[in-house]
Amino acid sequence: MRESETPPKVGCGAIVWQADQVLLIRRALPPFQGQWSIPGGRQKKGETVRECTLRELREETGLEAEILGLIDVVDAIYSEGDRDYHFTLIDFAVRPIGGTPRANDDASEVRWFPESSLKTLGLWSETLRVIRAGRKFFRSP
Catalytic amino acids? 109
Q: What is the DSSP string of the chain?
A: ----SSPPEEEEEEE-EETTEEEEEEE-SSSSTT-EE-SEEEPPTT--HHHHHHHHHHHHH--EEEEEEEEEEEEEEEEETTEEEEEEEEEEEEEEEE------TTEEEEEEEEGGGGGGGT--HHHHHHHHHHGGGGS--
